A and B are shown apart, each in its own frame.
Chain A
Amino acid sequence: MSVSVDVCDLSISFGSGATAVKVLPGVSFSVRSGECFGLVGESGSGKSTVLRCVSMLTDFWKGEVMIDGRSVRDLPLIERCRTLQMVFQDPYGSLHPRQSVRTVLNEPLVIHKLGDREERMRRAITDVGLPVSFLDRFPHQLSGGQRQRVAIARALILEPSLLLLDEPTSALDVSVQAEILNLLQRLRAERGFTYIMVTHDLAVVDHMCDRFAVMLRGEVTEILPHEAIATNGATHPYARELIGASLEYEGVR
């Protein structure tokens, strides 16, 4: 139920000719099967771009992304969507305002020609801790936390092995963030998912991830175990600065 991910020399440029901008000069990291791997860095450092490349939402990159030893480019679309799914940052922007939760959850089942739709939808919605009656609600009838749960249910309905989480809680209050983080932890314990999680909050990384990569201007400066945060065990100057700033901000001195 879980897969490993190997990203090798992933690079991408936007634009062409003289105005081309190399966003990722060459990113490499590997995520073990069942691991929660964090990507941190300031805005514009290319964290989300990495996720978009791994998920093939952006597909004109160079390099190699291997999922359980198979290149993500060689996976047929249908199989790829069954293997990996993404949860986006903003629960207010990622759900269609005119589609009910049922429509959102039903569509992937239709595309992938899966049976027992009602049963699968009920399971997905209970898995994320919402009552079954919420299937008939529209996004405006849900709070931010509930919307993010629906977004996670949408990602889960195809039973993927790899979840790409793009700042899943940064639009939410701490109290709601706690609920979503607990949910993600519980799902990982139950199903053995592999997570790649983009965030700018090192406290969340320390709470959730096993290892994390610090990115700066498209490059992975350092890959560290989560224990290195509390002690600031980074060696690269930028990683040290980032962790130091977070520690100072938290008031842990």
Chain B
Amino acid sequence: MEKTILDVRNLRIRYGGSPVEAVRGVSFTLGRERLGIVGESGSGKSTVGRAMLRLLPGATITADMLRFEETDLLALSEKEMLKVRGRRMSMILQDPKFSLNPIRRVGDQVAETYLRHFQCSRREAHDKAVAMLEAVKIRDPERVFRQYPHEISGGMGQRVMIAMMLLADPDLVIADEPTSALDVTVRLQVLNILDGLVRDRGIGLIMISHDLNLVRNFCDRVLIMYAGKVVETLKASDLDHAQHPYTQGLLAAQPRIGGTRQPLAVLDRKPEWLEESL
């Protein structure tokens, strides 16, 4: 971890009209590594990811520091933010069915990233997009380029999303539940492709997921979030030696292959977890 890509200190987010904060003082740094953020639904993990890209209209974001490389994200105007989004930092969303435009050809949507951020001809953008589709292991990329989102499978759609988000060669990719809509067999393929590209290009990756197995296998470090706070930070390989009762509870609640088939441990949520911080 030689260079810090992202430095977040005391991030607080409050949605418009809400009396409580959705994210309450989250701090972390990210280098050229793969960071997992796990937690249950409603723990604020996706909100943190979206705040990095300032994709939260109507929400109040405050932080002591929200620095992305040399840029202070909170100080940027919306116009300047457009140059960051998709170019230097991008986000892979959960479900390709809802995140691709249904009435535009897949390839045009991928090429748009390149056309928007670089001075180039349509031909050049097309070639770049096809090469990128090939890099995410889509067979016959020229044909897929001309297809519409409803003509491709979910696994392929998610690979198209990855291609779209990596095309501009960003420094940071935020993947929000990138594979939870996919079957197990396809899930592994997609994750391996994402993993390979992120490693080869030295991209920082934030993987937001509720799936402990996924972060264990595909991340270097893991933040565990509960009710808008980070309760524990661990190396992914040390996940089984988690100290916090919430993390231990999540791990114990998971059925495992070859397990004992005894009733699973149920989380006993302690009120003090809401208050303590790291």
> Which A residues fall within an 8 A CB radius of B?
42-43, 144, 173-179, 181-182, 185-186, 200-204, 206-208, 229-230, 241-242, 245-252
Contact = CB atoms under 8 A, between A and B. Distances in A.
A249 B253 CA distance: 17
Nearest to A252: B257
A251 B256 CA distance: 10
B185 A175 contact: no
B150 to A, nearest CB: 14
Nearest to A176: B40
B273 to A, nearest CB: 13
B255 A203 contact: yes
A249 B250 CA distance: 17
Contacts of A175: 40, 249-250, 253, 266-267
Contact of B250 (A43, A174, A229, A250): A174
19 contacts: A144-B41, A173-B40, A174-B210, A175-B249, A176-B40, A178-B253, A178-B254, A178-B264, A178-B265, A178-B266, A182-B263, A201-B184, A201-B255, A206-B261, A245-B187, A246-B257, A249-B213, A250-B257, A251-B213
B186 interface: yes
Nearest to A238: B185
Nearest to B255: A207
A179 B269 CA distance: 13
Interface of B (DSSP majority class): loop
Interface centre among B41, B184, B253, B266 (most CB of A within 10 A): B184
Given A207-B261, A252-B257, A174 B266 contact: no
Interface residues of B, number: 30
Contacts of B254: 174, 178, 203
A248 B186 CA distance: 13
Interface of B: 40-41, 154, 183-188, 210, 212-214, 216-217, 249-250, 253-259, 261, 263-267
Contact of A42 (B185, B214, B261, B266): B185
A5 to B, nearest CB: 22
Nearest to A209: B261
A128 B186 CA distance: 35
Given A43-B154, A207-B255, A245 B184 contact: yes
A246 B154 CA distance: 19
Contact of B184 (A177, A242, A251): A242
